[in-house]
Structure 1
Amino acid sequence: MVEHDDVTRVWELIDRIGFCMLTTRNGDGLRARPMSAYSAQLENAVYFLTDLASHKDDEIARWPNVCLAFADTKGQKYVSVSGTAEVQNDREKIRDLWSTPAKAWWDNPDDPSIRILKITPSSAEYWDSPGTIVSYIKMAAAAVSNSKPDMGDNVEVKL
């Protein structure tokens, strides 16, 4: 049974890490690209700003199942989110999500080529280790003692 705390932890990690690799299908293959995520736990959604001219929009229209991979390598915290994507032209939401990183791609939130990419998660898995130095010590101790290290929590969550 999934604990409420596990669902909360997934959303906390998504918020904390902020950037992810968005993987989409493109025919027989997969393609991943870095994206800046905006999480909305109360809406059960992860949002991205995207450009109308991007290939991912066409890929999502054909194959809406996606994966988001978040990684905080220094803190040894990782989240993989599976869900369904859709492209929206919600001008109010675009203005709500507008932030400094978006200015690298568009002049202002009223740019007609900006779209919202909404991911509705169906499940997630997270790995929450105590931290790199502690993890290395545990791995070294396990190697010497011929046992497996306790590397923290690994939990699958239905969202």
Structure 2
Amino acid sequence: MADRDPVERVWALVEKIGICMLVSRDGDDLRARPMAAFFERDQNVIYFLTDAQSHKDEEIVRDQHVVLAFADTGSQTYLSLTGTAEVSNDRDLVRKLWSTPAKAWWDSPDDPSIRVLKIVPKDAQYWDSPGTVVSYVKMAAAAISSARPAMGENVKVDL
């Protein structure tokens, strides 16, 4: 795992996992909700379709700083991105991002309440483990020997 380019690994994880928890600030509190990510690697941007009436849009207008938390529990791989967000009413982009999951929330890409949430990641941190079974074996061995297990790679990446 260590021989991979860390930036490319971040984007590969975004693509592989796809769904993340979007965390925004609501006054002094933090709020998280699941979102389906669309990304443009060459532009260093992640997009989400959102609703104009949602609280997250209001929160982002007040504070543009967000966290995206991706988790692939099957392979014990995790990714956290920090960045800034903005809400857009770009109708061409809405149509470009329209997909089957969006149909659960809106009837068509022409629904006037759909907005695009654009995230520009600043940095990322990922944790790559050797997999669930190997991780459990390493943890069990560490518990018996009182040594810390080698659980894989943890990398912080500027984007």
Q: Per the shorter chain, which TM-score range?
A: over 0.9
Question: Which residue pairs with 1:30 in the alignment?
Answer: 30
The runs of at least 4 consecutive aligned structure 1 residues that moved more than 4 Å come to none
Question: Which residue pairs with 2:60 in the alignment?
Answer: 60
Equivalent position amino acid for 2:157 in 1: V
Question: Which residue pairs with 2:114 in the alignment?
Answer: 114
Question: Which residue pairs with 1:45 in the alignment?
Answer: 45
Deviation at 1:89, TM superposition (A): 0.9
Among the aligned pairs, what percent are the same residue? 64
Question: Which residue pairs with 1:10 in the alignment?
Answer: 10
Deviation at 1:4, TM superposition (A): 7.7
Quickly say closer, same or farther: Cα 1:64–1:4, change in 2 above 3 A: farther
Deviation at 1:105, TM superposition (A): 0.3
Deviation at 1:115, TM superposition (A): 0.4
TM-score, normalised via structure 2 length: 0.96
1:117-128 map, 5 Å: 117-128=117-128
Question: Which residue pairs with 1:154 in the alignment?
Answer: 154
- Once residues 143 and 28 of structure 2 are traced to their aligned partners in structure 1, the CA distance between those partners, rounded to angstroms, is 40
CA-atom RMSD in angstroms: 1.1
Equivalent position amino acid for 2:130 in 1: P
- Once residues 65 and 11 of structure 1 are traced to their aligned partners in structure 2, the CA distance between those partners, rounded to angstroms, is 20
- Once residues 145 and 68 of structure 1 are traced to their aligned partners in structure 2, the CA distance between those partners, rounded to angstroms, is 36
TM-score, normalised via structure 1 length: 0.96
Unaligned runs of 5+ in 1: none
Equivalent position amino acid for 2:16 in 1: R
Is it true that 1:100 corresponds to 2:73 in the alignment?
no
- CA-to-aligned-CA distance 1:21-48 (integer Å, 9 cap, x gap): 0000000111000111112111101100
Unaligned runs of 5+ in 2: none
Equivalent position amino acid for 1:7 in 2: V
Question: Which residue pairs with 1:20 in the alignment?
Answer: 20
